[in-house]
Structure formats: structure tokens, C-alpha cells
Amino acid sequence: MKYLLTLIFVLSFYVSDCQIFDFGKKRDYYKIVTSRNVEDFDNYLIKHPKSLYNAEVIKRRDCLKRQIEWNWVRYTTDTIEMKNYIKKYQYQTIDCDIVGYGFDIENDVSTFQNKLNSIRIDNHWNRINTNNNSLSTVEYENFNKKYPDSKYYKIANDTINNRKKRLEKIKKQENDWILTKNSNDYSKYLEFNKKYPKSIHIDSCLLFLKNIEQKDWDKACKTNTVKAYENFENKFPNGYYFNEAEKKIVDIELQKIKKNNPTANWKPMDITSYDRNSLRSTIIMENETGYTIKVLFSGTETKRIYIKPDEEVTLKLLNGRYTVSATIEKSDIKPYWGYENYQGYEYSSVWVIQTTFGGVSLPNFKIP
């Protein structure tokens, strides 16, 4: 009987102790169940190492840890953090679908894998696209091959096509340059200059054109005839010496006119407006001779113009003193020449043929 009472007492105490123990564990569990502090769960496990709730506590603690890491990593661009997260949880299976702790546990690793891949793509793109002035298409082709679904695919593809077109143009330009050099032809160089003004060979091309023009100019100056200078102008209409050639033509023709007609017979043009507000004078000339008139101006500027029958021409000249002549290609009509001092006004004249005693002259005024 004594032993039976002792056994009942021990069993009663044990059962009583378990009930008290479980009640305390349950109470502590519900205190931490919604906690956001990992230490609360660790402390519970230390305090109740044999609790029936430990499996759930560990699960919640691990979910909380993972969520904390997930929240940290998803807002960073640090690829090392992402790699560590993926490496740590890639093969872990854990059910975190718990009220208050839930997050996209099924897709968290894949989310970071996609983000990491996107960063890799961006970095790769920036690497090949920054300061890339070459015409190579290899890097872009490799990029599209490696990332066929990237957001840069079309841009890379357009770049490849554009560079191939540019390469074709450069190849053709190089072939044209070789043909131009081998031709040693001025017109070919002129054509190349017009076609490829931004070519890497443009300096060599311009140097050749300049040397040819210089040789022809020296030759024209040595000959020193109107025909030689006109031939030069025809060959180099945009040449460096074109204006100089025009001046020499006008000066030669005026010298010839003055030599054959020593006495000036020019009547100063009429001033039709005294509105002097310009550095240039306005010259209005009307041709009523029935012939084409060639008018020469030599002074501050040099001009050679042709006025057709019944045509009116307006010319702007820098102010100053000029030697002027008007001629018609008709042997019995004498040239008309003299001097004008243009001072910024408007001047005009009407050209007619006037028969005078002893010959025919070309006055610069209309006979009433």
C-alpha cells in the first residue's frame, strides 16, 4: 500500500508538472507568435527546448529571417547580395504562407534571378555601348545571341544594320579614292570632293585640287590674256583665284579700251535717290540699244556684267572711285568709258545708240 501511494503521488506530480509546463509554453508561444523580432523566437527555443510548439516557432523564425533578408535584398542593386540570397535559398523548401509573415516565397528566388539577369544585361549593354566608336558588329551580334529576349535586342539589331551600311559606304568610298588617285584627273578629284566632303582623304583630295589650280593659275598669269583667264575661270568656277582672274580680265579689257580710245567719253550717271544709308551704291541700268551690252567696273570691287536688249539690271557696288566702260560687239560702235565716284546713292542710266558726226557712239543717257 505504501508503494502504491508513492507511485500515485509521483505520477500525479508529473502530470501536474506537465500541465503547468505546457500552459507556460503555450502562453509564451502566443506572446511571440506575431513578433517581428528573430530574437524572441530564439529566446523561446532556449527557454522551452522541448516545447510542442518548437517546430512552429522554428518555422516562423526561419520565415521571418528570410522575409527580412528578402526585404533588404529586393531594394538593393548589389548583385553580390542577390547571388548570396539565391545561393542560400535556391534549394530550400519552406512554407511561409503564415498570416502576418506571408510574402512571395514561391517566386522570391526567381524574382532575384530575373533581377540579377536584368542587371547583367544592363551592365553588358552599357559596357559595349559606352564610347564604342568602332564599326564592329561582333559585340552587338554576340549580345543578341546571348540575350535574344532583352529590351535592347531591337536597338542592337538596328545598330548592327546601320554599321553594316556604314561599312559598305566606307568600302565604296575607299574604292572610289583608289580610282581617283590612279586617274590623276582633276575632274575625278573634284567629283570625289563633292561626293565625300567628310572623307578621311579629303585633305589629300583638296591638296591635289589646290596644286592643280595653282599650276593653272601660274600658267594663266604667265600668259596674261583674257582668253587664258577665262579658261581658268571655266575650269575653276569656285576656285581660290576666281575673283582675281575676273579682276585681271576686266583690267586687261579696260586697258585695251583706253589705249584705243584715249579720251574718256563717259557721262556720269544720274543720281535718282539721295538716301545715303549704305556702304554700297545702287546702280540701275536699262538697255534699249537692241544689242547685248558688256559693262565693266574696276575699283573698290571688280564686276563684269552683260545686259541683254530691253533688260534692266540693278547692281550693288561698294562705294568708291571706279573706271567704267560699256561696249557692244559691233565694229562700228565705239566703246563708252570713263569714271564714276559712287557715294552710297542710287544711280541710273538708260543705254541707247546715238549716231554722232564722224561716227557712232554709245551714250549713257536716253535721247529725248
Contact by Cβ (8 Å): 291, 330: yes
Contact by Cβ (8 Å): 324, 265: no
Quote the CA–CA distance of 296 and 292 in Å, as a whole number. 13
Delineate the domains of the chain, giving CATH numbers in brackets. Answer: 2-105 (no CATH), 186-235 (no CATH), 262-361 (2.60.40.10)
Question: What pLDDT tens digit does each residue of the chain (368 aa) get?
Answer: 555 444 444 444 444 444 445 678 889 988 888 888 999 999 999 999 999 999 889 888 888 888 888 778 777 778 888 888 888 877 777 666 654 555 555 677 777 778 788 888 888 888 888 867 777 888 899 999 999 988 999 999 999 999 999 899 999 999 999 999 999 888 899 899 999 999 999 999 999 999 999 999 999 999 999 999 999 999 988 888 999 999 999 999 999 999 998 888 888 899 998 877 689 999 999 999 889 999 999 999 999 999 999 999 999 999 999 999 999 987 678 888 999 999 999 999 998 877 665 544 555 444 32
Type of residue numbered 233: E
Q: Is the pTM of this model over 0.75?
A: no
For the beta carbon of residue 73, count every other beta carbon within 10 angstroms: 19
Quote the CA–CA distance of 164 and 166 in Å, as a whole number. 5
